[in-house]
Amino acid sequence: MTDRLLVLVRHGQSEWNLKNLFTGWRDVDLSEQGVREAHVAGAKLKAQGLVFDIAFTSALVRAQRTLDIILQELGQTGIPVIKDQALNERDYGDLVGLNKDDARKKWGEEQVHVWRRSYDVAPPGGESLKDTAARVLPYYIQEILPRILRGERVLIAAHGNSLRALIMVLDRHTPESITRLNLETGVPMIYRLHADSTVASKLDLAA
């Protein structure tokens, strides 16, 4: 039987995650903790005995470095890696670089929560989760899913919201239920798909 394997990993903690700042498309590196999280993610995947044919990541260094570390841990640094900004984090617009607590003081707890968690309300000058899905999902359908359905084993290292957009479809979330989904940094999620692209099984490797 064809494996039809898809593994999703949100990048390890970034320097701006550590400082509680809105990051978006700003290209910041992993924190020391983020590097450790990436090593742990790789070790967990190795313990599962997983072998990959190809990996995808965003155009941002925190996701790329997470992927590099995972592949080092797996001993699979030779596989093709495709980088595309379609998998980038959502653009937080005017919030980028702001401390999340400062943003709450400026706009109010409720408004900031709506910007961060709602499906279709974008922060000023930025993207909503719906906007993010509008670039992530076509890329997944055109470039990634056909490979999985052919039996290629795929690893994606990306971001909280680009992965939430994809998980919304895989796990059949509604615009309301997706607001409650928060992805931890550096935690692999192992999906196996049916031939019709729906989910056959899911394993979350949270500690």
Kindly report the three-state secondary structure assignment for every residue of the chain.
Answer: CCCCEEEEEECCCEHHHHCCECCCCCCCCECHHHHHHHHHHHHHHHHCCCCCCEEEECCCHHHHHHHHHHHHHHCCCCCCEEECHHHCCCCCHHHCCCEHHHHHHHHCHHHHHHHHHCCCCCCCCCCCHHHHHHHHHHHHHHHHHHHHHCCCCEEEEECHHHHHHHHHHHCCCCCCHHHHCCCCCCCEEEEEECCCCCEEEEEECCC
Which amino acids are annotated catalytic? 11, 89
Other residues' Cβ atoms within 10 Å of the Cβ of residue 200: 11
Pick the closest to residue 25 from 181, 141, 158 (CA basis). 158
Cα distance between residue 78 and residue 75, in whole Å: 8
